[in-house]
Amino acid sequence: MNDTLQQQLGLPPADQLGFVVKNLEQSMEKYGPLFGPFRTMDSSVRDADFRGESKDVKLKLAFGKTGELEVELIEWISGESPHSEFIQAGNEGMHHIRFRVDDCDDCIRKAESIGFKRFWYKTMEGNIKFTYMERDNDPLIIEFLQMPGND
């Protein structure tokens, strides 16, 4: 059976591509002609489960579009997260693909059954959850976002 990863996990179409960048302002200028105009926000994620420990992170974010697909630019400011790992490893660029899902925890179980591991996870008010999933020898990071009532 040659099902795609998306079919194996029963996922809707991807709704976001995330890029981790070293300088948000320069990246918005550079990518504005492709994905702009951008809207920006500062974001703090407190007490997220990152690799089995509770960690905080501060990020600067910008959101643009290409058709229906959201493009997120992420500048790591401080703390620990997948974004800090990425930048500290000397990387910049495409980081993750996001899927909006109805049940984040069910998607985690399905992804784990085919070798993915949950490494960043947070539950927030209003039954909002997100997670990043990775697997060995695969640079693809998958994000699942459960955000009821905000489709």
Q: Domain for residue 118, yes or no?
A: yes
Q: How many domains does the chain have?
A: 1
Check which CATH number belongs to the domain holding 76 and give it.
Answer: 3.10.180.10
In a domain, 113, yes or no: yes
Q: What is residue 139's predicted lDDT score, i.e. its pLDDT?
A: 87
Burial of residue 55 (number of CB atoms within 10 Å: 0-12, 13-18, 19+): middle
Residue 122, Cα to own-chain centre: how many angstroms? 12
User: Mean pLDDT for each consecutive 10-residue tract of the chain (151 residues)?
Assistant: 75 96 97 95 95 98 96 98 96 96 96 95 94 93 89 51
- Return the SS3 of 106: helix
Q: Where are the alpha helices (DSSP H) in the chain?
A: 5-9, 24-35, 82-88, 104-113
The parent domain of residue 137 ranges over 13-52+59-146
Q: Could you tell me if residue 109 is inside a domain? A: yes
Coil/strand/helix, residue 24: helix
Residue 85 belongs to a domain: yes
Q: What is the predicted pLDDT for the residue at 1?
A: 45
Q: What is the pLDDT of residue 112?
A: 96
Considering the domain boundaries, does residue 68 fall inside one?
yes
Res 134: pLDDT: 97
Look at residue 27 and tell me if it is in a domain: yes
Could you tell me the pTM of the whole model? 0.92
Decide if 111 is inside a domain.
yes
CA nearest to 146, candidates 56, 11, 6, 30 = 11
Return phi, psi of residue 37, to 5°: -70, 155
Return the pLDDT at 150.
57
Length of the chain as a residue count: 151
Residue 120 within any structural domain of the chain: yes
